[in-house]
């Protein structure tokens, strides 16, 4: 029997939606207030969903301490209280929450103790983004 584990993590980060491929007027037209030259911040919530067999010895899909340690090292230490535009990842990529969600998915796919099913990133009360695992993998 497969069980599903959901775990939430929180971090604060700023960004500016802007691309060098557009001039200032086009950036403003496309990104609006999110193109503020000084950026703006969000309190992000990341929820990851993992699946796996329940271990008969521990009664768990995976050890939460292992997952939390992984999240601390690869997600929170990297993104919390950061301007996303300054990270190498976003030097040539617009740091939209869609692109951030793709990166969070890439990060948690490397967690070795359970299968990643879904990544959910909340940017605001009104905006959230989801990526689901490919059903063939």
Task: Give the residue numbers annotated as catalytic, written as ranges.
Answer: 34, 81, 123
Q: Cβ atoms within 10 A of the Cβ of 45, count? A: 14
Tell me which DSSP letter residue 68 carries. Answer: H
Q: Which of 6, 37, 18, 1 is nearest to 116 (CA)?
A: 6
The Cα diameter of the chain in Å comes to: 61
Residue 28, C-beta contacts closer than 8 angstroms, at least 6 positions apart: 35
In angstroms, the CA 6 to CA 48 distance is 6
């Amino acid at each position: 029997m497969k069980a599903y584990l959901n775990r939430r993590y929180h971090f604060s980060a700023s960004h500016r939606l802007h691309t060098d491929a557009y001039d200032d007027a086009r950036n403003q037209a496309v990104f609006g207030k999110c193109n503020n030259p000084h950026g703006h911040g969000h309190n992000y919530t990341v929820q990851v969903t993992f699946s796996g067999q329940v271990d008969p010895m521990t009664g768990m899909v995976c050890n939460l301490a292992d997952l939390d340690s992984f999240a601390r090292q690869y997600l929170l230490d990297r993104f919390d209280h950061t301007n996303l535009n300054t990270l190498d990842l976003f030097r040539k990529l617009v740091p939209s929450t869609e692109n951030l969600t793709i990166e969070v998915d890439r990060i948690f796919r490397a967690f070795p103790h359970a299968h990643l099913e879904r990544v959910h990133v909340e940017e605001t009360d009104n905006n959230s983004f989801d990526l689901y695992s490919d059903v063939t993998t």
